[in-house]
């Protein structure tokens, strides 16, 4: 399935990174754009381990949470999904069950009675094939994986490609593409935890966030959507105007309590007619770093690392405290296969699944 075509393939730093318990070799690729922005990605889980971007003084710092070795991802099971590709279905499916054309599919259960991020062994725990690419304006890595019919309970043989690209405009672009030989559901995303002050440098409560959404999908205590679409007006979820993440995080609002005393919500993005719409913008005042998020998808999940508790020791021995990173996962809505009025996540044979996200980095004026 040729969905992304490499142009002028060029050398990229590649190193052997270890083996999985099944004996599969894992490699680490390091990409550097012409302005020095750098990212390291391993073939296990398509996990982005580092992302180094400049502050207002030009100082490069790693802004994503992660472990320094493959062994630590394997030992911990990477329960927070640090930096991983999410699939077959990012986010949650109620009771791990859905029906397509009268056939009910039971998925593996890995969070209470629900399926989260594809099940017990989702795309975050698979070894991907990698292909380097280099263009005049960007450098990147194409990751490929074939998910077999019945994997984690999902129907269809699904061929997936995910391309990570660093442009010379300091954009991290993520392009997703897939085909299937049997009707299925698919919802792909990526789970970087960002701290624009630098990974391990405190929490993100002082980050200033804007989300371009008038509505969100409220949740039940098990974090499954109720099925309603609710206005953010008058709630702690209203980020239509730039607001510090910590301003209302301890409001005691019932939805916030359901989410684990923090944010873990799907926002219904305002669409302007442009296929790559602005979804969110976040900045950190001290470093001056700014991250804008654009996507083709209808939703974005804001997660503020509520379950991080200081027990996770990351790169350079740094402790990741509660609220130590924030995720902005572009996606279709949680539990869409069981919510017929949500945007469809069905994929049919002959169709090509295509979605994209751009994380654009810049700095505030001095």
Structure tokens at 192: 């970087």
Task: Name the active-site residue from 117, 191, 207, 283.
Answer: 191
Residue pair 334/215 in contact (Cβ under 8 Å)? The answer is: no
Instruction: Write down the catalytic residue from 151, 152, 171, 329.
Output: 329
Query: CA 83, CA 294: separation in Å to the nearest integer?
Result: 18
In 3-state terms, what secondary structure has residue 213?
A: strand
Q: Is 250 a catalytic residue?
A: no
Cis ω on the peptide bond leading into residue 68 (within 30° of 0)? no
Residue with tokens 């919500």: 265
Which residue's entry shows tokens 């979804």? Answer: 279
Q: Report the distance separating Cα 292 and Cα 141, nearest Å.
A: 22
- Answer yes or no: 283 catalytic: no
Q: By C-alpha distance, which of 30, 166, 86, 29 is closest to 327?
A: 86
Q: Where are the beta strands (DSSP E) in 88-212?
A: 92-93, 97-100, 103-106, 115-116, 129-135, 138-147, 158-167, 171-180, 184-185, 189-190, 208-211
Q: How far apart are CA 342 and CA 187, in angstroms?
A: 13
Q: Cα angle vertex 90, ends 92, 316, to 5°?
A: 110
- Catalytic residue positions? 191, 329
């Amino acid at each position: 399935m040729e969905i992304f075509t490499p142009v002028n393939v060029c050398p990229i730093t590649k190193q052997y990174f270890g083996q999985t318990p099944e004996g599969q070799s894992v490699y680490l690729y390091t990409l550097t754009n012409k302005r020095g922005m750098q990212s390291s990605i391993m073939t296990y889980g398509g996990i982005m381990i580092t992302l180094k971007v400049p502050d207002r003084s030009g100082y490069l710092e790693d802004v994503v949470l992660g472990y320094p070795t493959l062994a630590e991802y394997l030992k911990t099971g990477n329960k927070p999904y640090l930096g991983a590709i999410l699939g077959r279905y990012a986010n949650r499916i109620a009771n791990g069950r859905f029906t397509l054309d009268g056939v009910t599919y039971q998925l593996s259960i890995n969070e209470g009675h629900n399926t989260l991020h594809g099940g017990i062994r989702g795309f975050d725990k698979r070894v991907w094939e990698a292909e380097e690419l280099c263009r005049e304006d960007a450098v990147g890595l194409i990751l490929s994986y074939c998910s077999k019919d019945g994997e984690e309970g999902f129907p269809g043989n699904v061929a997936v490609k995910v391309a990570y690209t660093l442009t010379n405009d300091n954009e991290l672009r993520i392009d997703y593409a897939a085909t299937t030989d049997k009707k299925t559901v698919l919802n792909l995303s990526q789970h970087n935890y960002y701290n624009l002050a630098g990974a391990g440098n405190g929490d993100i409560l002082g980050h200033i966030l804007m989300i371009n959404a008038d509505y969100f999908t409220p949740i039940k205590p098990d974090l499954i959507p109720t099925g309603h679409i609710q206005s953010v007006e008058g709630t702690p979820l209203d980020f239509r105007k730039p607001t510090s993440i910590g301003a209302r995080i301890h409001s005691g609002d019932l939805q916030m309590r359901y989410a684990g005393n923090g944010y873990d919500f799907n926002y219904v993005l305002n669409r302007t007619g442009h296929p790559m719409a602005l979804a969110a913008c976040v900045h950190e005042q001290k470093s001056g770093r700014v991250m804008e998020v654009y996507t083709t998808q209808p939703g974005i999940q804001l997660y503020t690392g509520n379950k991080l508790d200081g027990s996770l020791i990351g790169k350079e021995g740094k402790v990741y405290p509660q609220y130590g990173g924030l995720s902005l996962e572009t996606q279709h809505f949680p539990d869409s296969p069981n919510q017929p009025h949500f945007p469809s996540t069905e994929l049919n044979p002959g169709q090509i699944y295509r979605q994209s996200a751009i994380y654009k980095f810049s700095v505030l004026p001095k």
